[in-house]
Amino acid sequence: MERAKPFPTRRRLLQGAALAAIPYAVLPATRADAEPHAVDYPTAEWASASRSNYTAADRPSRYPVELVIIHVTQTAYAGTLDIFLNPKKKVSAHYVVRSADGHVAQCVRERDVAWHAGNWDYNTRSVGIEHEGWVDKPAYFTDALYEESARLTSSVCDRYGIPKDRSRIIGHYEVPGTDHTDPGPHWDWTRYLRLVNSV
């Protein structure tokens, strides 16, 4: 016959509770400024830029959002995300679109000012979209990249009432004071605007 095990004493119960609480006392608390990984574009993946690479804002209350600026990364998709994560680079964009499949990463919330245009006024009034590739390698401008980028741009324009035309959807090369040439001569603006307007 098995002997009944004695019940734990009150002291043992309190010691057990104290031991169980230790990991919670040692682990760091959630930061008060921690931001949920929400995205502004529903199919985007959150891939945060360093907080040192953009300006927190309250757009469109503080600055109107009036433009979409099209960029080409001049590096690979993963390399672009690494650059935006590096606090020493002082650069970011709201979105990055991958060439192979059109996958979209959001790196900066649309309410914040990404540092992508090289012109503070244009940064405050725009959403920047980087596209994986090189200006002199048109093979990177795939159907998937054009189509998903067009859906993204159309969505941004709808959210802020931006006209879906070339006066408001511009290339980086059109920003005053820039020395950039992207998206370059191989970017098909006619096709792109047609896709933006047909979504």
Active site residues per annotation:
130
Please name the amino acid found at residue 42.
Answer: P
Nearest to 94 by CA among 72, 78, 80, 109: 109
Q: How far apart are CA 69 and CA 145, in angstroms?
A: 15
Q: How far apart are CA 88 and CA 191, in angstroms?
A: 36
**What is the distance of C-alpha 171 from the center of its chain?**
18
Structure tokens given for 192: 């792109």
**What is the distance of C-alpha 53 from the center of its chain?**
12
Nearest to 106 by CA among 63, 57, 54, 147: 54
Crossing angle, helix 143-160 and helix 189-198, to 10 degrees? 60
In the chain, DSSP finds a helix count (H) and a strand count (E) of 5, 8
Q: How far apart are CA 90 and CA 87, in angstroms?
A: 6
Q: For the chain, how big is the Rg over CA atoms in Å?
A: 24
